[in-house]
Amino acid sequence: MLEHSRIGTGQKEITDINVLCDECIRLAFHGLRAKDKSFNASFETHFDSTLPNIKVVPQDIGRVLLNIINNAFLAVSEKSKVERSKADVHYEPKVTIGTTSMGNMVEIKISDNGDGIPEHIKEKIFQPFFTTKPTGQGTGLGLSLSYDIVKAHGGELKVYSKMNEGSLFVINLPVEKTNFE
């Protein structure tokens, strides 16, 4: 938590992405539990142990991860509230985060089993000020800023979604080679 609260230098630092992802999913989970005692979901982590440390601005990438993970937890929480009202539906809300070494890229996948993103909205989610949240609950800047931060790191942010099944956000970040490799 201290890492997320301290003011960053804005400088890229050698970072263990697995540790950052683990911190962010736990912070998001416990943050939502603190705000909403009825919130309940499970989360899984699948980290590639061969993942190289990469140069990123950890506070910025942490902000991206927290934003996407928070959105995922909110999506499964909303679906859970709807499903609880149905008699014999056994929905188990879950968010998963994983990493994979892709050679010259590090891939981070964040998925949820919420309701998914409607096709007509999917093309707008990275636009500034676009939100599906009720008035006063979202600025519509989270995914837009996340997209810009990932791009500024030379990476890519993509979304895949299927209605009634959930969403998958994929972040690809480059592995910078040092002069010693």
The model's pLDDT over 19-71, given as tens digits with 9 standing for 90+, comes to 999 999 999 999 999 988 888 899 999 999 999 999 999 999 999 999 999 99
Q: In this structure, how many other beta carbons lie within 10 angstroms of the beta carbon of residue 97?
A: 24
Are 115 and 163 in contact by the 8 Å Cβ rule? The answer is yes
pLDDT above 70 coverage of the chain, percent: 86
The DSSP line for 59-116 is HHHHHHHHHHHHHHHHHHHHHHHHHHTSTT-----EEEEEEEE-SSEEEEEEEE-SS-
d(CA 4, CA 62): 7
Of the candidates 175, 41, 169, which has an alpha carbon nearest to the alpha carbon of residue 102? 175
Residue 94 has pLDDT above 90, yes or no: yes
pLDDT in tens, 125-158: 888 776 776 655 666 678 889 999 999 999 999 9
d(CA 91, CA 76): 10
What number is the average pLDDT over the span 95-102? 97
What number is the average pLDDT over the span 71-90? 83
Query: Domain map of the chain by residue range?
Result: 2-174
Are 170 and 158 in contact by the 8 Å Cβ rule? The answer is yes
Superfamily covering domain 2-174: Histidine kinase-like ATPase, C-terminal domain (3.30.565.10)
Per-residue confidence (pLDDT) for residue 133, from 0 to 100: 67
Residue 173 has pLDDT above 50, yes or no: yes
Residue 179 has pLDDT above 70, yes or no: no
Per-residue confidence (pLDDT) for residue 6, from 0 to 100: 47
- pTM value is 0.88
Are 42 and 92 in contact by the 8 Å Cβ rule? The answer is yes
Are 69 and 25 in contact by the 8 Å Cβ rule? The answer is yes
**Tokens representing 149?**
């931060």
Per-residue confidence (pLDDT) for residue 69, from 0 to 100: 97
d(CA 62, CA 32): 17
**Tokens representing 59?**
């506070």
